[in-house]
Each structure stands twice: as C-alpha cells, then as structure tokens.
Chains A and B, each alone.
Chain A
C-alpha cells in the first residue's frame, strides 16, 4: 500500500513538473512577417502582418500575446512598437506626423519588423520582415462610395436647378409648419405682442443653425413689414452676431431700417440650463404671441416648449436632433421634422432655384430606398459583393 502511495505521489509530482516545464517552454515563433505601407493614410503608418505561431490556440497553447518590434537596420537593435493579443495577426504601427513628437514615424524611410510570440516567461522571435516605408496616398479608396454618392446627388441638384431656371414648375408638398408662419406673425401683430425666435444651442458652423438663419431672415422681413417686435435671445455670441446682421438685412430689404432694434437680439449665456432659465423668464414676462424654436436643441427643448405653452403662445418648432423631435411634436403646435427644417428656407423663398435642390433631395431619397431594398435582398441571400460596394472605410 505504501509503495503504491509513493508511486502515485511520484507520478503526480512528475506530471506537475512536466506541466510547469511545459508552460515555460518557448513557443514556436510566428512566420511570414510582412510589412507594408498602411493604405489610405497620411503617410506615417506601416502595417505588419504575420502567420500565427503554431502554439497560438493550438499545439502548446502557450502564446499569450505578440510584441511587434521595429528597427531601421535589419542587423541593428529593435524596439518594441506595440503589443497585439493572441489570435491577432495584424498590427498598424501608427507614428506621429510631427517631427518633434517622440513617436514620429518618418515617411519614405525603410523600416524592418520582427514579431515576438510571448508565453508566460519566454518568447520566440520571428525572422526579420521585408523593408517597408510609409507614404501618404492622394486618394482614399475606402471613401469611393461616398464620392459616388456626392457626385450623383450634386448631378441631380444641378440638373433640377437648371430645369427650374428654364422655368419648369416644380411641385413641393406643403409643410404645415411653414404655412403657419404668416398666421403666427399676423396673430402677434393683432395682439400687439412680440415674437420670440430661438435659434437653439448650435454654433454658427452647424447646418441646422444656418438653416435657422435663413428662416429667421424671412420671418424678420415679415415682422418688419407688420411692425411687430422680434426678440432673439442667443446662446452663442457668434450666432448673435450673425443673427443681428441677418435681421438688419431683412429690415433693410423690407424698407424699414429705422425699426431695427439691435438690443432685441442679445446674448444670454453659453450655459445650457442658465440659458433656459433666462429664456423662460422672458417668455413669462413678455408673454410673446408666437415662439419659434428652429435650430439645434438638446434636453432644454421640452422645458422651453412647455413654458411657451403655459405662456399661451403659438409655437412652431423644428430641429434635426432626433431625440428632441418627439418632445417638440408633443409640446408645440407645428413641428418641422428633420429635413423639413432645411427645406423650410427653400419653401419660404419659393425661388425656383432653391426648390430645385429639394427635388434633388427627393431623387436622392428614391435612390436610397432602392439601395435599401437591394441591400436587404443581398444580405438575405448573402450576396457579399453587392454589400461590399456600400462599405465605407473612414
């Protein structure tokens, strides 16, 4: 019995030893290490690929990661550039473009790579790769789909603009929110109360804010004609400056430059809820007949719209912030949903050239719908070639 126990203990200890020595055994190195310029970049990155070590996920199963080493001399000293987890066979050695940066990777200079398969305490290095240098590309091939889309859409737009210029009548469906603008301004005039126009929390470079400026111009022209004051509290000082110029130009065009009051277009604050408090105060003190909320809005949308509703104002809203659209629909009388905000300026102007771009938008939508149907069919039948046509690499 004692002999059996000793034998079993010996076998157990031997097994343990073999296991320990096994885990400390060097893994087999990765092979076929290749270096090449990273495509579609500014010329400061090299991509390294390799064939996984036979002990990665198989064999001894002791590879835990790969270290990627770089040198400008195949015989020289290599430095670690990064680590890839086990199972990974690609690494982008991204360097900085500034010469002063420690991580600077110069373009058009040859570099050599080695990949080290790491076990717990040991490692095995691959052969040195081929030389490779980084260089920038003059065209991003991953964005070809976007380029085709831009060209197609621009072609549609130019075609319809040209058609409109030739005098072709273009039908545009009526937008209730825009139809209500005149009525809302008329109501304010009858009541002798001001109009409150809120451009939102967007900065002047946002397209929703630019669309809002265009609508503001038309609204201001009407208020100038009707001699109704318009109040514009601003969240952004650049937006305030542009709004002042827009309203001034509209008053000038309406032949009422003397009625323009710069103090009615003022800066409140750039703090979201402090701005809301300020505007709510104006609503409850001035009781404007009409409130316009057109532009970029976030969490403040409902607080503003509900306060306006409490103040008894007619409210017209429009934003391209999807999360805020339901709030505006619930709390205001008319809402311009998403793209309608952009269409509003063209619609208000009734200029054929502007309506032409709306028609192009419709054709763009038709193309998107066709692509969606074809894409759904291609995905259902695993037709990868078609799906890859729409893939965009950023």
Chain B
C-alpha cells in the first residue's frame, strides 16, 4: 500500500496533466496551476525539514568532534544571526536599507562572487587537460578550439586580416559555431527530448518506481 498509493497518485496526476495540455477548456485549464500550488505547499513545508536537518547534522558534527567540526559553529552562528536579524527587521526585511539586506549585501554577495570567479581558473585548468592532442579526435578538438578562441579576439583578426574575406579566423569561427556546433547541440537536444518522454512514460506506467521508495 505504501508503494501503490504514490504510484497511483503519480499516474493519475501525470496522465491528467498530459490531457490538460491538449484541452484549453475550463476546468481543465486550471488543473496545472492547482497541481503547481500543491507542489509549492509541500516544498514550503520541506524547507523546515531542510533547516532542521542542517542544524541537526552540524550539531552532531560539533558534539562528536567530527572532521571539520569548527565549521559547524560557523553554520549555527550564521543561521541564527540571519534569523534573528530578519525577525528584528520585521516585514520587508529584504528591502534595501534593512540590517538583513546589509548583511546579505556585504557578506553573501562578495562570497558568492568569489566562488563564481573561481570558475575562470577552473576553465583554464580543465581546458589544459581537455585540449591535449592524445588522439585524432582530441587533436581535432584542439584545432577547433584554437580557431574559435583566436576568432573571438582582436588578435585573431590581426593574425588573419591578410586572408581573403570568408577565410579569416572570424569567418571560420562563425562557421564552426553556426554549423557543426549547432548541429551537434541539436542532436543532443532531440535525444534529450525523446529521453524525457521515454522516462516520463516509464514513471507514469509505474515501470520506474525508485522515487516511490521501491523497485
């Protein structure tokens, strides 16, 4: 019963939403919003679950002095600092000028930007590994990448400006991006679309049921 009920709900809601897609007439057109609202209500309750889990895991880490336990103090401190400041500011605590907003602005944003900026260095290190000419395919990738990189910068323009129009690095870059790259991407997209339909069908027919805690 514990397994059958979620599967039945999934099948009913899933097939209803497929039917709703083809019927614009009321009341069918309201169903989608109705189910979305239900999802958001469940998700709102789950946020509490997440917060409690976060606090419990970090309390355990601190109590049992597990690896990295000092970070647990930082998590608890940060969590309660923001909660207390949020309540202190009252309604509209996220508006500019509030203490909550100030803390968010001076702490979270710079930290967020710092993490994001690391990406630039990781792109360089990943490219270094990916663009090594180990075999024929990797060499082709290397050559294409070099052409596209040079074609995107002024240096590439100066390097190939003596060539006739249509054969310059910028033109070759545009060709690579517009044809082989777009064709490859679309092939993957079509595969993904069919994969989504296939997976959805497996879920709706109850063939795939791990999400309902059982195989």
Residues of A within 8 A of B (CB): 40-43, 97, 136-140, 143, 146-147, 150, 153-154, 157, 161, 203-205, 207, 210-211, 213-214, 216-217, 234, 236-238, 240-242, 245-246, 248-249, 253, 263, 266-274, 276-277, 281, 285-286, 299, 302-303, 305-306, 309, 320, 322, 325, 327, 329-331, 337-339, 341-343, 345-346, 349, 351, 353-354, 357-358, 360-361, 364-365, 368
Minimal beta-carbon separation of A379 from chain B (angstroms)? 15
Minimal beta-carbon separation of B78 from chain A (angstroms)? 10
Q: What 0/1 pattern do residues 97 to 128 of B give for CB contact below 8 A with A? A: 00000000000100110011011001101110
Cβ contacts A to B, 23 pairs, < 8 Å: A139-B23, A140-B24, A153-B194, A204-B211, A210-B203, A217-B215, A240-B53, A248-B213, A249-B210, A266-B53, A268-B54, A270-B50, A273-B112, A274-B115, A302-B123, A303-B118, A331-B122, A342-B196, A354-B202, A357-B198, A360-B198, A364-B194, A364-B197
Binds A, one of B154-162, B164-172, B183-191: B183-191
Q: Is B53 a contact of A157 with CB atoms below 8 Å?
A: no
Minimal beta-carbon separation of A216 from chain B (angstroms)? 8
Q: Is A365 a contact of B194 with CB atoms below 8 Å?
A: yes
Minimal beta-carbon separation of A41 from chain B (angstroms)? 5
Complex interface: chain A residues within 8 A of B197 (CB):
150, 153, 364
Minimal beta-carbon separation of B183 from chain A (angstroms)? 10
Minimal beta-carbon separation of B200 from chain A (angstroms)? 6
Which of A137, A238, A268, A358 contacts B24, CB < 8 Å?
A: A137
Q: In the assembly, what is the distance between CA of A360 and CA of B43, in Å? A: 34
Minimal beta-carbon separation of B210 from chain A (angstroms)? 4
Q: Is A249 a contact of B24 with CB atoms below 8 Å?
A: no
What is the number of residues of chain B that contact chain A, defined by CB distance less than 8 Å?
Answer: 63
Q: Write the chain B residue with the least CB distance to A362.
A: B194
Q: Is B50 a contact of A320 with CB atoms below 8 Å?
A: no
A sample of 12 more A-B contacts (CB under 8 A), given A271-B112, A337-B188, A358-B198, is: A138-B23, A139-B23, A150-B18, A205-B39, A210-B199, A277-B111, A281-B68, A299-B119, A306-B126, A327-B126, A351-B207, A365-B194
Complex interface: chain B residues within 8 A of A368 (CB):
190, 194
Q: In the assembly, what is the distance between CA of A341 and CA of B195, in Å? A: 8
Q: Is A325 a contact of B207 with CB atoms below 8 Å?
A: no
B47 at the A interface (CB under 8 A): yes
Which of B48, B116, B125, B201 contacts A273, CB < 8 Å?
A: B116
Q: In the assembly, what is the distance between CA of A150 and CA of B14, in Å? A: 14
Q: Is A361 a contact of B126 with CB atoms below 8 Å?
A: no
Complex interface: chain B residues within 8 A of A345 (CB):
199, 208, 210
Q: In the assembly, what is the distance between CA of A346 and CA of B203, in Å? A: 12
Q: Write the chain B residue with the least CB distance to A320.
A: B192
Q: Is A138 a contact of B25 with CB atoms below 8 Å?
A: yes
Minimal beta-carbon separation of A330 from chain B (angstroms)? 4
B77 at the A interface (CB under 8 A): no
Known A210-B203, A217-B215, A361-B194; judge A273-B24 contact (CB<8 A).
no
In the A-B complex, list the 5 residue pairs whose CB atoms are closest, starting with the nearest: A237-B50, A339-B195, A330-B130, A273-B115, A342-B195
Q: Is B122 a contact of A361 with CB atoms below 8 Å?
A: no
Q: Is B22 a contact of A139 with CB atoms below 8 Å?
A: yes
Q: Is B24 a contact of A245 with CB atoms below 8 Å?
A: no
Q: Is B196 a contact of A207 with CB atoms below 8 Å?
A: yes
Q: Write the chain A residue with the least CB distance to B79.
A: A269
Complex interface: chain A residues within 8 A of B189 (CB):
322, 338
Complex interface: chain A residues within 8 A of B116 (CB):
273, 299
Q: In the assembly, what is the distance between CA of A308 and CA of B18, in Å? A: 40
Known A237-B47, A246-B213, A303-B119; judge A154-B188 contact (CB<8 A).
no
Complex interface: chain A residues within 8 A of B21 (CB):
140, 143, 146
B67 at the A interface (CB under 8 A): yes
Q: Which of A143, A147, A320, A338: most chain B Cβ within 10 A?
A: A338
Which of B60, B115, B196 contacts A277, CB < 8 Å?
A: B115
Q: Is A207 a contact of B199 with CB atoms below 8 Å?
A: yes
Known A207-B200, A354-B202; judge A266-B54 contact (CB<8 A).
yes
Which of B57, B122, B185, B191 contacts A302, CB < 8 Å?
A: B122
Complex interface: chain A residues within 8 A of B192 (CB):
320, 322, 338-339
Q: In the assembly, what is the distance between CA of A140 and CA of B29, in Å? A: 12
Contact residues, B12-51 vs A (CB, 8 A): 18, 21-26, 29, 39, 42-43, 46-51
Q: In the assembly, what is the distance between CA of A339 and CA of B190, in Å? A: 9
Minimal beta-carbon separation of A323 from chain B (angstroms)? 9
Q: In the assembly, what is the distance between CA of A273 and CA of B27, in Å? A: 41
B180 at the A interface (CB under 8 A): no
Complex interface: chain A residues within 8 A of B88 (CB):
none
Q: Is A43 a contact of B215 with CB atoms below 8 Å?
A: no
Complex interface: chain B residues within 8 A of A285 (CB):
67-68
Known A207-B199, A360-B198; judge A42-B25 contact (CB<8 A).
yes
Which of B54, B67, B207, B213 contacts A354, CB < 8 Å?
A: B207
Q: Is B46 a contact of A237 with CB atoms below 8 Å?
A: yes
Q: Is B191 a contact of A274 with CB atoms below 8 Å?
A: no
Which of B51, B122, B201 contacts A306, CB < 8 Å?
A: B122
Complex interface: chain B residues within 8 A of A153 (CB):
194, 197-198, 201
Q: In the assembly, what is the distance between CA of A376 and CA of B197, in Å? A: 25
Q: Is B195 a contact of A320 with CB atoms below 8 Å?
A: yes
B214 at the A interface (CB under 8 A): yes
Q: Write the chain B residue with the least CB distance to A141.
A: B22
